[in-house]
Amino acid sequence: MKKIMMMAAIASATAAMAQPVTPATGVANDYSGSAGGATGVVFAPRTAETGYGYDDGKTVVGFTLMPWAFPNSSWDVTGVRFNLGWGAYRDTEAFDFGVFSASRSASGLFVNVFGNYSATDATGWQTGLVNVVEDKMCGLQIGVVNYAERLSGVQIGLLNFARSQHFFPIVNIAW
């Protein structure tokens, strides 16, 4: 019983120390839970780009296991990205493969089973069941459903949408 109580105490202390930065406040919880004070959390003011207030960085390799990203999902990936589940990073210039990929902007080769999502623009090749680019797609999209607000390239799939231009099934080409 004593071991169970000790493990519960350690788990609750660990959970208290790992409080995330909230989008509403942009303030990090930097308390260590002891009399020692702060744990040394790196903190920067919240901006539109950083979102959560932590210093953002770049990495050559990004790995996502379900919703957890290593390193932090607010980083940029310039190299290789592997997604087991929902892979989300800020900007991606990489060879990206796995289950599902999401980025603010994307550039490179994206091969994901369920699909790819880009919040702004994408350049390169996207392959997946559903591919969505919220702004401009420059390159090739291959999937069952392909969507781009603006298209400068080719879409191959059952349903192809280039919202500002046209819809065309099977092959959609726009320059």
Q: What string of pLDDT tens digits covers the 175 residues of the chain?
A: 555 555 555 554 444 444 444 444 444 444 444 455 544 444 444 444 444 444 468 888 988 888 788 888 888 999 999 999 887 888 999 999 999 999 999 999 999 999 999 999 999 999 999 999 999 999 999 999 999 999 999 999 999 999 877 777 888 888 7
Cα–Cα distance measured from residue 39 to residue 81, given in angstroms and rounded to the nearest whole number: 30
pLDDT of residue 29: 46
Classified as helix, coil or strand, 32 is coil
Mark out the alpha helices in 56-160 (DSSP H runs). Answer: none
Classified as helix, coil or strand, 154 is strand
Cα dihedral: 27, 66, 102, 140 (round 10): 170
User: Other CB atoms closer than 10 Å to residue 114's CB: what's the count?
Assistant: 16
Tally the residues of the chain: 175
